[in-house]
Amino acid sequence: MDVEYIREFVMLAECGSFSEAAARLFISQSSLSKHIQSLERELETPLFNRTTRSMRLSEAGELYLPYARKLAALCMESEIALDDLKRRSSTSLTIAVMQNPQYYDMAKYITGFRRAYPELTFSMVEADELVLYDMFQRKIVNIFPTYSNFFGAGDYTFMPMVESAMVALLRRDHPCAGDGSVSLQRLGTERLLLPTRGGSLSALIMAAFRREGVAPQVVYEGSSIGCIDLVKAGMGVSLHAREFAASFAGDADICCVELEPAVNFVYGLGHRPPATLTHAEQLYLSYMKQYEKK
């Protein structure tokens, strides 16, 4: 079984669109379609129900998706571990980045570091925060992005870099769409679409509701793109980081509204003690410290 086809299946399931998934995977739609068909033949079952106007996971696809995610994650980790073994030296560096590194200017910082130290052997791995933390615990990476020292395990130091806040994403025809802010009390009457289950931002949101004495009706916890599609379909209200919401500023179907009270968080890097890092990792940490929020 081709692991790359499994990764492509996961991406297609999350995007819900051949065109968007192909663009994210940097392959043609025809190639993606052939790969998915090959995977379905090997599994001897259709993974999607397709019509001329829509596509959605089949019952088998829904069943297979969590296993596919685990397989893709394990394969990615094993590849990173082997690559790290091959490259282990004072001049090699694997940088962990959270999904959508353009947010919080992380892509800019990493690009600046690469230009400052072109002699280093440099690679990046992108994953969600739970996978990155697991990779940190397995010592696959020694520096990783995270939120507000969320895990609190005491096995790393948190370096704050960016302060931000959660906002509500609403359909433009929502009664609160024209307001300057929307209260958590008001959102307690809405169907909520939240970021990944078990992630720090979801935990942050739920804690904010508890402080307000509100028991929200969460109907979806999944991918950011999935949240947006469901908001547009009128399935509920989604809460996301302000930076993510800003990328939809020109969207004709949805709008961004501040929360009341504010739900703030801090984004930064978790790292092991500098003395335990390789020379390249120490250079990276030192470079990123110039952006540390005091």
Neighbours of 252 (CB within 10 A): 8
Q: Which residue type does 16 have?
A: G
pLDDT tens for each residue of 10-41? 999 999 889 899 998 999 999 999 999 999 99
**CATH class in words for 162-266:** alpha beta
Helix, coil or strand: residue 119: coil
**CATH class in words for 3-78:** mainly alpha
User: How much is the pLDDT for 88?
Assistant: 52
pLDDT tens for each residue of 76-125? 888 888 876 665 556 788 889 987 777 788 889 999 999 999 988 888 88
pLDDT tens for each residue of 177-218? 988 899 999 999 999 998 877 778 888 899 999 999 999 999
Residue recorded with tokens 């088998």:
60
Residue recorded with tokens 């990779």:
135
Whether the per-residue pLDDT at 230 is higher than 80: the answer is yes
The CA distance from 191 to 179, in Å, is 19
User: How much is the pLDDT for 57?
Assistant: 93
Helix, coil or strand: residue 36: helix
pLDDT tens for each residue of 237-263? 999 889 888 888 788 899 999 999 999
Whether the per-residue pLDDT at 150 is higher than 70: the answer is no
Whole-model pTM? 0.65
User: How much is the pLDDT for 284?
Assistant: 94
Mutual angle of helices 29-43 and 18-25, in 10-degree steps: 100
User: How much is the pLDDT for 66?
Assistant: 93
Look up residue 241 and give its DSSP letter.
E
- Given a contact cutoff of 8 angstroms between Cβ atoms, the answer to whether 163 and 148 are in contact is no
The CA distance from 288 to 218, in Å, is 36
- Asked if the domains 83-161+267-291 and 162-266 are classified in one and the same CATH topology, the answer is yes
CA–CA distances in Å: residue 126 to residues 68, 98, 165:
17, 5, 23
User: How much is the pLDDT for 100?
Assistant: 74
The CA distance from 4 to 285, in Å, is 32
The CA distance from 107 to 203, in Å, is 25
Fold of domain 83-161+267-291: D-Maltodextrin-Binding Protein; domain 2 (3.40.190)
Mutual angle of helices 18-25 and 3-15, in 10-degree steps: 130
pLDDT tens for each residue of 33-77? 999 999 999 999 999 998 877 789 999 999 999 999 999 999 988
Task: Kindly report the backbone phi and psi dihedral angles of residue 89, in degrees, each rounded to the nearest multiple of 5, phi listed first.
Answer: -170, 170
Closest by CA to 163, choosing from 292, 280, 68, 62, is 292
Instruction: For residue 258, give both structure tokens.
Output: 């501040």
Q: Which burial class, exposed, middle or buried, applies to 225 when counting CB atoms under 10 A from its CB (0-12, 13-18, 19+)?
A: middle
Average pLDDT over residues 211-229: 89
Rg over alpha carbons for the chain, rounded to the nearest Å, is 21
User: How much is the pLDDT for 90?
Assistant: 60
The CA distance from 237 to 219, in Å, is 10
Across the chain, what does the average pLDDT equal?
A: 88
List the chain domain ranges: 3-78, 83-161+267-291, 162-266
